[in-house]
Structure 1
């Protein structure tokens, strides 16, 4: 087995209907410029329109990479804790056992497909959603399942994880927005202090 280099990107800023905004398009071009320096062979994306469009933009900057859908990257809640933290009670209100089980199956499929070494060394971009980025980071750090709740992710923020044969995964970057000017950071989170 060889090293799998995953570059996980949350989609660009989107409107309430899930389409990229002008800001989201700019963010996607900027992260694509950053990724263009790498030997990327594949860009995988969620089936949702905001991720599809972000992946199209990124793929346009990576002519050697194929761009394809991966159903495992769809936006979903990956884990519903048995004991809901009080601060998250409203978020989980209404989730039933069937929805929680479906989310867990998708989370397992995401890990099974991408969170492991590859047959040959490969550099892949995953264009997905904040919860899936958090779930991959949580898994790479071998943190308890409920810890995905504390991991936020900005639009087009870059997370890099390497998966080696016979060794624990290495989280090289998390939520890195160095490719974005200050006014494009944290889009989607409402008014807040921007780093």
Structure 2
């Protein structure tokens, strides 16, 4: 027998994975979405995923790396795209309607993982809080950019505070998340969207007409 053949026979055989990695990741996502990062234990993850701890570590690295993959799965599967539309009003309204439908969808946990995933995290999980906060800030920045486009195009007054208005709609999103987690359904969330969009600033007056003077 050649030395190469002997080495091949002596080499340990890698065990084949006995579970569906995608299904296991989807189960982990639901655990993190329901309980948050810190409150989700490795024991609860392995039970939900139907695997043992060594299999979790071999397939995903550790709990933190598994959470990162779960967040990416959430973004690609459930996350709302950046506001898009012919104008900022239409784009932001469409985004809020999408979130209202998603947050109240009974086929998965309520609300938004990006908002609730790091609630009550310990100091040791500060990096998780920072990651999700940065993602929320990106969403707020995309709303502000959409508003600035309308200001530049003359569809909104030049003195509109784009960052302040974007922060308002970001707060609406976070409020919708909490309402959904408290049991609010699609109809209630849609009414919140109606109220939020009723606060949209008026377009600038381009007629040149002066406002009437108040009565003396």
TM-score (norm 1): 0.29
- Give the structure, 1 or 2, with the largest relative contact order (CA under 8 Å, sep 6 or more): 1
